[in-house]
Structure 1
Amino acid sequence: MSHIENEEGKPEQQQAFISFYLSMPQQPSTTFRFFDRNDFYTLHGSDAVFVAKEFFKSMSVVKYYCSGSRKLETVSLSKLNFESFVRDLLLFHHYRVELYKSQTGSRNNSSWVLDSKASPGNLTEMEGLLFGNMELVEARGVISIKLSTETKLIVVGIAFGDTILRKLIITDFSDNDHFSNLQAVLVHLSPRECLLMKDNSPQQTRLRLVIERSGISITDCKSADFACKDIAQDLQRLLKFKSGETAHSVLPNEVDHKQSAGALASVIKYLELLSDETNFGQYHLLTFDLTQYVRLDGAAVRALGILPSTNDGSKSHSLLGLLNKCRTSPGQRLLGQWIKQPLINIHKIEERLNIVETFVNNTELRQALHEDHLRKIPDLQRLARKLQQKKATLQDCYKIYLFLNHLPAIQNQLESQEGKCMAVFRELYCCPFKDFEEDFVKFREMVETTLDMFMVENGEFFVRPDFDQDLKELYDQMNELEEQIQKTLPKVCIPFNFSISIIITLGETIFDDHVIYDLSHSHVAWSCVPQPHSYREEKALRNRKDFFTIDTKQNGVRFHNSLLRQLNAKYVAIRLDYEKQQKNVVDMIMDIAAGYSEPLLQMSDVIAHLDVLVAFSVLAVSAPVPYVRPQLLPKGSGIISLKQARHPCMELQENVSFIPNDVNFEQGKSIFHIITGPNMSGKSTYIRSVALNILMAQIGCFVPSEEARISVVDAVLARVGAEDRQLKGVSTFMAEMLETSSILKSVTSDSLIIIDELGRGTSTYDGFGLAWSVSEHVATKVGCYCLFATHFHELTALSGEVQGVNNLQVTALTSDDTLTMLYKVIPGVCDQSFGIQVAALAHFPNHVIEFAKKKVKEFEIFSIDSSEMKGKEDMEPHLKKQKILKEADEIMHNFVEAAQKTCSGSNCLSAFEELKNEIQNNNNIVIKKIISGEQD
């Protein structure tokens, strides 16, 4: 920013723009304002500085608009950079975007108006601009939350709007003060933006913290936006009803859904659904039932790597990336939904598994669908939306036509199969395919009748001239003029004896072997004589009144004459009339095609379902070790048994030979596993592997194990990892406690909990006390499936006090100060963490390692094992040490006195041995270490 440069435009225009820009209302810090300058875009002020630093990584791109002493930072973006940057702002960084256009079209005019805006949850106005040439794989939505204020019980009302899929979802439910159920709903629906009422009540403040921790942008709305008195009238216009239905009949009981009705009103207003008539009669209203799906909290999603993070370098680093073998965009969107909504209904899960098993066992069918048929299917959801908005083109209609022609091949492939899945194939796929073909018979005829298939082969999409009488007449006139021009062009060059290239073009600029043509010079004579003859030809044309030179190039001259120009003018006029009539006919076709959007959406759902299950089968057979079908048991069976379970993402890493392990849960015998072992030994990977196997099974996918018997779980809850949120004033330990508290308030006996290193963020004694208390509560009061990885080796004593608690250890070999991890989980307790050995592996300086060993020995003399804890639980740590030392002093004093009395006779040695054995039987750790020679 050390230099000042004027942006193109007159100084007075820059002054006018600066005055306008400074007069604009102050923008929120989360909003960027772009200005459309026709062929490029600009940002100004703090927005320009941000883009220079974050996008271009250089301040040299910052220029200035100047007005006297006032200077306005300016950065220009090309259209390509604009689209890329705005997509990044909206989809990854969750900013909002506003786009302004000049009312007069002048680049630096002071009359600018807001043309369009977008937010992370509402991309409607910029959807065509940002995703015109690419597919939007992930659906986006906005959620609204309204809390009850009438009773002490927290009642949460939810409304979710998705403008891509045209769905409105509502639900009401009771929740605790940690909003545990709400966190699960946020995971299931995955909104990008949340509408909240402006309110400073304690409930609303806690709610905001939950939303922010979930990484969702918050938009404040007025309380009037949540008024639901007109909701039935609004839904009457928006919803697509079946015969006999009304808004009142499909809207749930207002008494039971009072909060969600208000939230729904705010969503409709925020998305401006009523301002666009193309939305009328197109939306579906659904009620979300949280009990149908496995509850996943945000901590579990992060800990298990279910969704990819923004810095993932490989798709296989997340479960979604691993499973995504889909060939269609609707399939990828459905997979993203399924992975966040694992099923609880065992019959629905088995149905998916049956289909996947059929594809796994039938290689020919699987490969035909995955490698050939599915990859040819366009994004039917997006095409349906374009039809609804009447923004589709003839090319879009042709894509649907090609899909119709390809559909019978898919149908025949599925119908040719035999076995137990034939009835399911017929119900889920074959029958909908037949219905779809019947619905689109007229559509197929329309495309074949109206589209010029000869032009389609050249990549051009026009209406056949003989489809419309007016179009046919104009087309014939154009052909006649073209014939006249073809005959005239050679005659034009006869007086000069030029070697010419005759080209007839119109419309957009095109490239030929010799020259570029455009609309203004669509029919010209072109001399093909190289330099220096081209200048000689130009001189020959210069003094001829009936000839007009267009331009002179190195390889020739372009020119018109009077007759050619007259013919060209007539041709251009007729061609423009022809294009206008073409547009009228295309608009008529699009009006008819818009009626096919609903069955196209339904077919998109069918194709997506097929695509996801085929992807599951492809993954199952292509893994390093093939996946197996899990045996599912009803919820409450109390058994989870995985043989040789693997982590699906870890086993794909290069140069990794993954060590599989078993896990066995059985109600009443081994329901709570405490896992100990060295650092880096694989404890965290082990507990994650178990959780991922269970989630994959309840999604309907095969699992990375040799054998799997899984009782359906209703929740997967996690306390893994350590991170603070400094901007929110939440420390690492506080974040750990919040997540643990949320687990304890929402867990049931059919849940799976994975806990990794609970209590390490505070003092050893406090951490151990919390770990013991939480473990004992879960094991005795809840009785759910739990994997607890810890370095508190004293916690393993819980297995001797509580039935169902089991100890596991991850093995390692130590020799000559070396540590070799075996990554094998076996029964038992590992009483060391080998932290010093791990530090050595990290190449700590030798003197640091040696000093650490010395300090460890000093502390070990005061360590208290589980047997010595009895009777001393209520003491402070320093008092415990003092008592142990006092006991040791008394034992030694008594030993010396007894030795002096008994060692005076002939039986001195035998008496001394008896005394020695007597004190060895004392349970004092100091005496034990002195006798063993470890007193240093």
Structure 2
Amino acid sequence: MSSIVPELKFPDERSKTLYFNESKKKCFDVMDMKRIIINEAHKDVFVLFNSHADRACEVVYKTVGPQKTHQSQRYVTLSLVNFEKFIKHVLNDGGKVLVYDHDWREVLEASIGNSEGLESRYGIDMTAGDQDEVQAVVMALKVEMDMKNGETWTIGCTFINQTLNVLGFSTFEDLPDFFNNLETILIQLGVKELIIPSNIANSISNTFKQVVENCHCLLSTSARGDFDYNDATSVSISSLVDDDMDTILKLENHPHAHLLKSTLQGLIKYLNLSTVSSSSYKKYDLVEYSLSQYMKMDQSTVTSLNLFSDDLMDDQNNMIAQSMTTSLYQLLNKTTTLQGSRVLKTWMKQPLVDKTSIDERLDIVEFFNNNPELRSNLRLNVLPKLTDIYKLFKKLSKFKVSRSQAIELTTSQLDPAMEEILKIYDYINVIPEILEFLNDAISEEDDDRDSKVKDLIFNKFVKPLTTIMNPLSKPVQIVDTYIDVEHFIKENEIKFVLSDDDSEIKKLQESIEATKQRLERIFEEVCDLMDPKTAKKIKMETEYNNIGYCMKIPRSDGDKLKVLTKIGYTELSIVKAGIYFQTREMTDLNKKLYQMKQTMKESQIDIVSEMLVVFKSYYPLLMKLQSIIGTMDVLLTFSYVSIEQATIPYTRPIINKMGCGGTEVHKARHPLLEVNEGVTSRVIPNNISFASNSSKLKILTGPNMGGKSTYLRTIATCQLFAQIGCFIPADENSQVVLVDGIFSRIGSGDCQYLGLSTFMVEMLQMSSILKSSTENSLVLVDELGRGTSTYDGFAIAAGILKKLKSINCECIFATHFHELSDIDESIENLKMLSHTKRGNVLNEDEDKKEITLLYKVGKGKAGESFGINVLEYIGFNEKIIGIAKRKLKELEEDNDTDLNTVKDNINVDTPGKKKIKLQLSKEQILNILKRWKAELQGKEITKEIAHDLLHDLVNEQ
């Protein structure tokens, strides 16, 4: 339990002084939350100091109460359970852990991508947990500068995803001022740790570090020599990957093959993939990864859309997390298998851009919609039987492999190894049941469309599952041939099925069985010696305290044991539950049974070891099997979410190719608002239109709290759902045009560790969006320019709006600069509708406006933002509201004109003088210019002369 605080003990005061003196050298009070120092003071007692102790208190204990102070150092102790909890928190947050022993010698350093030390020393399983397990995608990266164009870098990288069994490589060009493509690949792959050579660590820019940090990725370095590739030192690719010569040849003949092999070398060294124990059975799928094969999203979009909830949120201590659905992943993740949740997370980071592939997913979802019985049987009755292949093989990897590729088992490992073998055996045996359900569903004849969809189901699931099951019949046959599965499940012990009557193992098994039967008869004989009432109270225990078979009688009936004096008995223990005892013969038989079991286990080791070798050889095939099951699970889940979970059923969108037509979504709803209890009634559907006959760029204005940000998120969510192959929360016949990227600037935040203000972060984000977006992108901008003065903000917003128009992308530009609505007639204006009612003489406040927010999008522009009305709506302090109203009135009276006339105005800004603005006709301007030309008589015009001329003009008006 998290409340247990272990005590830090020392044999004497001198030891305590030496310990804390050394801790000061190692743990001086720094605010480095990415490199946590932990001391293993005693067995199961871990100590953190100063700022790291503060963090441990926050994460584990939720209070600083357990924290203590010694010699001006704050410290806190953790038990092994809490140590594991804190470790996972730190590594998930992109940190590293450095562990020292009691004498402050370094024990290990661990990161999210390299946690084997934690697993071997403390038994911490980084994959343990429910749906949101740790998925450590690790990438190694190197850069080359384009000598012809120094502004462009060529980046080569290799990455590994252990849970999906993928080893991939990619190259791409990037601009060192932005690293947009680096950000894209880190997001799409979900990279947790990025490895770079140590020689370039000091030369990389702050922008590079910022991009990596924003993607919640740990930046680590490895020795330069680890990336030095040559044929003599390289690990053969074929020893790591499945037999895929086409992809291997692609890598070998790649234009940047040396760069890629260098990063592969660095990745292998860092993760120690070349060791025999880790590569003996693992064969990865080698893939070439291209950024263009999926839709791009920046980290700002991932955050603003609430794509994933905070991985560090403690659901047990957060009432909001308990009662509400806080992310789109949480909304969709109703998968049945752990592999399904992994696939879903990957799909959400990698939306498709190919219409055919998306339509295939939608076809399958629709098929499951139309077959509710099939969906229910698979989701509720079949898939829950499947465990996780990756985790099973993680456990199997603990059984060491000798140089001869044989498994070296001990007798204590025999039963655990057999357990994992049988779990894999059970997994394989569920597949025929899945195939039976699918075959039944596609066997009936229907119309042509149904026939095409059933062919798709056959090709996507039935055929590949059948193909995989053929070779997997061998390990199943081995288990059926040698192991009595039912006996193992019932008794938790191995019993071989042997046809050879003269086999030593069979004779031993028969002796064991005969001994057990004699022990059972002894129990019956003891009961016969007792009176019937007492006999009913006696219980047989088959495994008591490593003693074996014994009996238990209630303490109140202990005196009844005297009748056993003739046959002899021994009291083993007297506890609250009763008196445990054995007869003399039972004691002898237990010893004999133990010796026979040990002999049996020794004779079983070779057979079980051979079975382990066989099962490990099928790891790649089993991972392919699990991948197919994961895909099926996600598509079943999309059907469930769309039909059963949704308050109003989601509908299938019509997918149009990129650049063909315009998106038209009818009555779109934000799914997170809709699903949360108490909010459904306030969800107002809105249309989304980027029709080809209308402007692709739209300005959205409206009151504060009127729903602008929600509308933007609804647009992006519908686009995302469509491109991952899910139905969308909208009416039927909605059309979605594919986009190559979603880029958004919604919300605000600073970046303190780089000294960046909110405004600077906003500008950097917009600069990145303008570089990344194309005419096929979707761009969503919310309240740009609010971090600076009104005039600066308006000018910046207007300039960016002009640039977005030139890009010609689909864009909604939400703003409180209502005057932007007038700067270009070709830009369509939208507004959040509201109903306002002004006070009258009967009101206490004639200027008071009552506003009713309708959360509905209409055409046109809004006249004001009703900020003060929002203060009234939420019950803000009346005195402050009164001051705000008076000040607003003063400002409105003082300003001769406002930004509404900027586009038609002549503006002169003279230092120290008030800005002058006039609205003039074309004829007036021409007359003034002719008069000025005569008055200047060839003089060079300056700001001062121009200001004086305008001042005279003002006085004339």
User: TM-score, normalised to structure 1's length?
Assistant: 0.82
Counterpart of 2:688?
663
Kindly report which structure 2 residues correspond to 1:640-659, keeping only aligned pairs within 5 A, or say none.
640-656=663-679, 657=681, 658-659=683-684
Aligned pairs, number: 857
Counterpart of 1:266?
266
Q: Please, which of 474, 477, 493 is the counterpart of residue 442 of structure 1?
A: 474
Counterpart of 2:930?
none
Counterpart of 1:411?
438
Asked whether 1:379 is paired with 2:381, we answer: no
Q: Which has the higher mean CA deviation after the structures are superposed, 124-133 or 621-630?
A: 124-133
Shift of 1:242: 2.4
Secondary structure class of the residue paired with 2:734? strand
Shift of 1:45: 4.3
Asked whether 1:589 is paired with 2:588, we answer: no
Shift of 1:851: 2.6
Alignment check: 8 A CA contact 2:143 2:155 kept: yes
- Give the Cα–Cα distance (whole angstroms) in 2 for the partners of residues 112 and 864 of structure 1: 69
- Give the Cα–Cα distance (whole angstroms) in 2 for the partners of residues 157 and 698 of structure 1: 28
Encode CA deviations 1:336-391: one digit per residue, 9 max, x unaligned.
11111111111111111111122223333333333333333332443455567766
Secondary structure class of the residue paired with 1:716? strand
* Equivalent position amino acid for 2:456 in 1: V
Counterpart of 2:191?
191
* Equivalent position amino acid for 1:172 in 2: T
Shift of 1:334: 0.6
> Residues 448 and 366 (structure 1 numbering): CA distance in 2 closer, same or farther, change over 3 Å?
same
Alignment check: 8 A CA contact 1:238 1:283 kept: no
Asked whether 1:767 is paired with 2:793, we answer: yes
Counterpart of 2:702?
677
- Give the Cα–Cα distance (whole angstroms) in 2 for the partners of residues 346 and 719 of structure 1: 27
Counterpart of 1:301?
302
Q: Please, which of 610, 616, 638 is the counterpart of residue 632 of structure 2?
A: 610
Counterpart of 2:940?
none
Asked whether 1:166 is paired with 2:165, we answer: yes
Asked whether 1:396 is paired with 2:423, we answer: yes
Encode CA deviations 1:902-934: one digit per residue, 9 max, x unaligned.
xxxxxxxxxxxxxxxxxxxxxx99999xxxxxx
Encode CA deviations 1:550-576: one digit per residue, 9 max, x unaligned.
434468655567665444333322222
Shift of 1:868: 5.6
> Residues 783 and 567 (structure 1 numbering): CA distance in 2 closer, same or farther, change over 3 Å?
closer
Kindly report which structure 2 residues correspond to 1:326-341, keeping only aligned pairs within 5 A, or say none.
326-341=335-350
Kindly report which structure 2 residues correspond to 1:31-110, keeping only aligned pairs within 5 A, or say none.
31-33=36-38, 35=40, 40-46=44-50, 50-58=55-63, 61=66, 75-79=77-81, 81-91=82-92, 93-97=93-97
Counterpart of 2:727?
702
Q: Which has the higher mean CA deviation after the structures are superposed, 752-761 or 386-395?
A: 386-395
Q: Please, which of 883, 888, 908 is the counterpart of residue 856 of structure 1?
A: 888
Counterpart of 2:714?
689
Shift of 1:616: 1.2
Kindly report which structure 2 residues correspond to 1:552-563, keeping only aligned pairs within 5 A, or say none.
552-553=574-575, 557-558=579-580
* Equivalent position amino acid for 1:768 in 2: F
* Equivalent position amino acid for 2:880 in 1: V
Asked whether 1:475 is paired with 2:509, we answer: yes
Q: Please list every run of 5 or more consecutive structure 1 residues that lacks an aligned counterpart in the other structure.
A: 102-107, 511-516, 891-923, 929-936
Shift of 1:798: 2.3
> Residues 467 and 131 (structure 1 numbering): CA distance in 2 closer, same or farther, change over 3 Å?
farther
Counterpart of 1:919?
none
> Residues 192 and 303 (structure 1 numbering): CA distance in 2 closer, same or farther, change over 3 Å?
same
Alignment check: 8 A CA contact 2:908 2:915 kept: no
Alignment check: 8 A CA contact 2:908 2:917 kept: no
> Residues 839 and 557 (structure 1 numbering): CA distance in 2 closer, same or farther, change over 3 Å?
closer
> Residues 95 and 580 (structure 1 numbering): CA distance in 2 closer, same or farther, change over 3 Å?
farther
Alignment check: 8 A CA contact 1:465 1:471 kept: no
Counterpart of 1:288?
289
Q: Please, which of 623, 627, 633 is the counterpart of residue 656 of structure 2?
A: 633
Alignment check: 8 A CA contact 2:392 2:420 kept: no
- Give the Cα–Cα distance (whole angstroms) in 2 for the partners of residues 42 and 868 of structure 1: 66
Encode CA deviations 1:653-703: one digit per residue, 9 max, x unaligned.
333331111122145731110000000001111111111111111111111
- Give the Cα–Cα distance (whole angstroms) in 2 for the partners of residues 553 and 867 of structure 1: 92
- Give the Cα–Cα distance (whole angstroms) in 2 for the partners of residues 168 and 637 of structure 1: 35
Kindly report which structure 2 residues correspond to 1:132-143, keeping only aligned pairs within 5 A, or say none.
134-135=129-130, 137-138=132-133, 139-143=135-139
* Equivalent position amino acid for 1:42 in 2: F
- Give the Cα–Cα distance (whole angstroms) in 2 for the partners of residues 577 and 50 of structure 1: 52
- Give the Cα–Cα distance (whole angstroms) in 2 for the partners of residues 271 and 389 of structure 1: 17
Secondary structure class of the residue paired with 2:292? helix
* Equivalent position amino acid for 1:474 in 2: L
Shift of 1:426: 1.2
Encode CA deviations 1:130-181: one digit per residue, 9 max, x unaligned.
2676456553211222222463122222221223333222111111220111
> Residues 793 and 483 (structure 1 numbering): CA distance in 2 closer, same or farther, change over 3 Å?
closer
* Equivalent position amino acid for 2:738 in 1: V
Counterpart of 2:593?
571
Encode CA deviations 1:80-115: one digit per residue, 9 max, x unaligned.
x44433333333x333346678xxxxxx8x69884x
Counterpart of 1:733?
759
Kindly report which structure 2 residues correspond to 1:183-262, keeping only aligned pairs within 5 A, or say none.
183-198=183-198, 199=200, 203-230=204-231, 233-236=234-237, 238-242=239-243, 249-253=249-253, 255-262=255-262
* Equivalent position amino acid for 1:825 in 2: V
Secondary structure class of the residue paired with 2:61? coil
Encode CA deviations 1:786-831: one digit per residue, 9 max, x unaligned.
100000011001232xx3x100111111223211101111111111
Q: Which has the higher mean CA deviation after the structures are superposed, 385-394 or 767-776?
A: 385-394
Encode CA deviations 1:493-523: one digit per residue, 9 max, x unaligned.
99999978877656xxx5xxxxxx222x334
- Give the Cα–Cα distance (whole angstroms) in 1 for the partners of residues 427 and 529 of structure 2: 54
Shift of 1:858: 2.1
Asked whether 1:147 is paired with 2:147, we answer: no
Shift of 1:63: 7.8
Alignment check: 8 A CA contact 1:384 1:601 kept: no
Shift of 1:465: 5.9
Secondary structure class of the residue paired with 2:834? strand
Shift of 1:593: 1.5
> Residues 772 and 165 (structure 1 numbering): CA distance in 2 closer, same or farther, change over 3 Å?
same
Shift of 1:577: 1.9
- Give the Cα–Cα distance (whole angstroms) in 1 for the partners of residues 763 and 232 of structure 2: 41
Shift of 1:70: 12
- Give the Cα–Cα distance (whole angstroms) in 2 for the partners of residues 502 and 547 of structure 1: 14
Asked whether 1:130 is paired with 2:130, we answer: no
Quick check: which has more Rg, 1 or 2?
Answer: 1
